[in-house]
Amino acid sequence: MYMHIHRYTINFTPAEEGGYTVTVPALPGCITEGDTYEEAISNAKEAIQAYIESLEKDNLPVPDEISEVIEIAA
């Protein structure tokens, strides 16, 4: 069985009450948190997997990370 590997940027924001809030810009609404950096990463992986599984269950496309390329003349 073919397995596609997805790579996503995750953003960490320190939470006021401690720990981190994590968002995944390529997956709208994919947000999680963790009391430590390590827990936040682990929870982000689980949230991304659940998000992808939900899309697949509903026969919706799974977005890939799109990096914007900016060209600058020097």
Q: Specify the pLDDT at position 31.
A: 97
- pLDDT value at position 25? 92
User: What H or E segment, with its residue span, contains residue 12?
Assistant: strand 11-14
Say how far apart CA 22 and CA 39 lie, in whole Å: 11
Q: Single out the residue of 40, 39, 38 nearest to residue 21, CA to CA.
A: 40
Q: In the chain, which stretches have pLDDT less than 70?
A: 1-2, 67-74
Q: Nearest CA to 11 among 33, 52, 3, 70?
A: 33
What are the Cα distances from residue 22, in Å, to 1, 6, 17, 61? 31, 17, 14, 23
The pTM of the whole model exceeds 0.85: no
Q: Which letter does DSSP use for residue 28 in this model?
A: T
